[in-house]
Each structure stands twice: as structure tokens, then as C-alpha cells.
């Protein structure tokens, strides 16, 4: 079964492929960029929650391709900021995808605040003609007072997961993926899809 992943991020595709293959699922993932031959559609994320955005993207791509789709949305939720930036994590400072500006704004908002607990949350949504499945993965931690590390992307230089003294950006990819929110969501989806495939067979 070929599934379109609603992403152009090859790292996401590789990570999800490895995890899903561990469940013995007869599937292969293809990025939307590859499917649309380098010209993927722009799907506006207008949902008010991570769940709504993941479902919105899954429905849009499924309607365009008629293929099964996996879509995701991820947010950083800082408890002292009423779970902001949350669903607007990628555009927290105004411009979508400006990671440096987003981190700077977060540090500014937390200036003088000692309670810096936070969590990363990823929602994955699988959709085909027969079923609609939503799962999430959560990684608890806290926000560093300074940026540390050169790996990763987004808020990785600021997020320190519980049980570690390093930010995600200080970790190698193997270490990060052993505990990350996305990996946990991938494992949850793998278990659910394996049960779904077994039920159909």
C-alpha cells in the first residue's frame, strides 16, 4: 500500500518509514513533493488545534490523490504561557518558518518566569476511503534560558526533555528519536495501523 505523507521533509519520511516497517506493515511512503513532481499544493493550516490541522491536510491530499494519506501537525506547548505557542508554533513571531525569530520571541515571553515546563506534541492522522485514525505523541520537558546545540530545527535548541540535561539540538538524531514526540506518535500510529491491517486480513 502506497501512502502519501503530507510533508516535504525527507527526515520525517525516513523516520516514519523506519518505525512503520518495524511493525511489518506492507506500505511505502511517498512525499507530497515527489507525488506532485516537485510542485506540491499549498494547504493552508486554518485549524484551531493540531488535530484539526492534521485532519485538514489529510482530507485535502486524499481528495486530490485518492490515495491513503498520513498528515501531521506539531506544536510546542509552554504551560506558563497558557500552552502557547501551540498550534501557531511555526509562525509564532509572525513569519511562517522563521525558527530564529520564533525562539527569540519565546525567550522574550518567558523572561523573568522561573516556571518553564513545556511539552512537544505531534498529532498524526491517517485517512483512506475506509477509516480515519488520529494519534498523538507527547514529550515533556522544559525551556532552556539560552539556545544550545546546532542540530535539529525549530525550537530544538531551547527544549530539554525530562530525564536529560541536553536540548534536542545537542543530541544526535538517534538519541533524539528515541524519545521525541514525533517518534512516539509514529509508534502509536504503527500499532494502530497494524491492528487495522490485521482486522482486514
Place of cell 493550516: 45
pLDDT confidence band for 201 (50 / 70 / 90): low
- The whole-number average pLDDT for the span 2-29 is 81
Q: Are 53 and 91 in contact (CB under 8 A)?
A: no
Instruction: Give me the CATH number covering residue 117.
Output: 3.90.950.10
Decide if pLDDT at 102 tops 70: yes
Confidence (pLDDT) at 70? 95
Does residue 136 carry a catalytic annotation?
no
Decide if pLDDT at 23 tops 90: no
Decide if pLDDT at 57 tops 70: yes
CA angle 89, 75, 83 (to 5 degrees): 85
* Of 131, 101, 137, 104, residue with least CA distance to 12: 137
Radius of gyration of the chain (CA): 17
- H or E segment and range at residue 4: strand 2-5
> What whole-number distance in Å separates Cα of residue 155 and Cα of residue 159?
6
The DSSP letter of residue 146 is S
pLDDT confidence band for 16 (50 / 70 / 90): confident
Decide if pLDDT at 29 tops 90: no
- The whole-number average pLDDT for the span 155-175 is 95
Decide if pLDDT at 188 tops 90: yes
**Strand 159-161 vs strand 117-127: parallel, antiparallel, or unpaired?**
unpaired
Average model confidence (pLDDT) across the chain: 92
Q: Which of 10-14, 149-153, 160-164 has the lowest mean pLDDT?
A: 10-14
- The whole-number average pLDDT for the span 25-47 is 87
- Please tell me which of 30-34, 146-150, 193-197 the model is most confident about, judged by mean pLDDT: 146-150
Q: Please count the structural domains in the chain.
A: 1
- The whole-number average pLDDT for the span 169-196 is 91
Confidence (pLDDT) at 197? 80
Catalytic residue, from 72, 73, 136, 156: name it.
73
Domain encompassing residue 134 = 2-200
Confidence (pLDDT) at 44? 86
- The whole-number average pLDDT for the span 123-151 is 96
Amino acid at each position: 500500500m502506497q501512502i502519501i505523507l503530507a510533508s516535504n521533509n525527507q527526515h520525517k519520511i525516513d523516520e516514519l518509514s523506519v518505525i512503520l516497517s518495524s511493525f511489518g506493515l506492507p506500505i511505502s511512503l511517498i512525499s507530497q513533493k515527489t507525488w506532485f513532481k516537485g510542485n506540491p499544493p499549498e494547504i493552508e493550516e486554518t485549524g484551531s488545534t493540531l488535530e484539526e490541522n492534521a485532519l485538514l491536510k489529510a482530507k485535502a491530499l486524499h481528495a486530490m490523490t485518492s490515495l491513503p494519506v498520513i498528515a501531521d501537525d506539531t506544536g510546542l506547548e509552554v504551560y506558563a504561557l497558557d500552552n502557547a505557542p501551540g498550534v501557531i508554533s511555526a509562525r509564532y513571531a509572525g513569519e511562517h518558518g522563521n525558527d530564529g525569530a520564533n525562539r527569540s520571541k519565546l525567550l522574550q515571553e518567558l523572561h523573568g518566569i522561573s516556571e518553564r515546563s513545556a511539552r512537544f506534541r505531534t498529532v498524526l492522522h491517517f485517512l483512506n476511503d475506509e477509516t480515519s485514525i488520529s494519534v498523538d505523541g507527547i514529550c515533556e520537558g522544559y525551556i532552556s534560558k539560552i539556545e544550545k546545540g546546532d542540530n535539529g530545527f525549530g525550537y530544538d535548541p531551547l527544549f530539554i526533555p525530562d530525564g536529560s540535561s541536553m536540548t534536542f539540538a545537542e543530541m544526535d538524531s538517534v538519541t533524539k528519536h528515541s524519545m521525541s514526540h514525533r517518534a512516539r506518535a509514529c509508534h502509536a500510529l504503527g500499532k494502530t495501523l497494524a491492528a487495522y491491517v490485521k482486522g482486514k486480513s
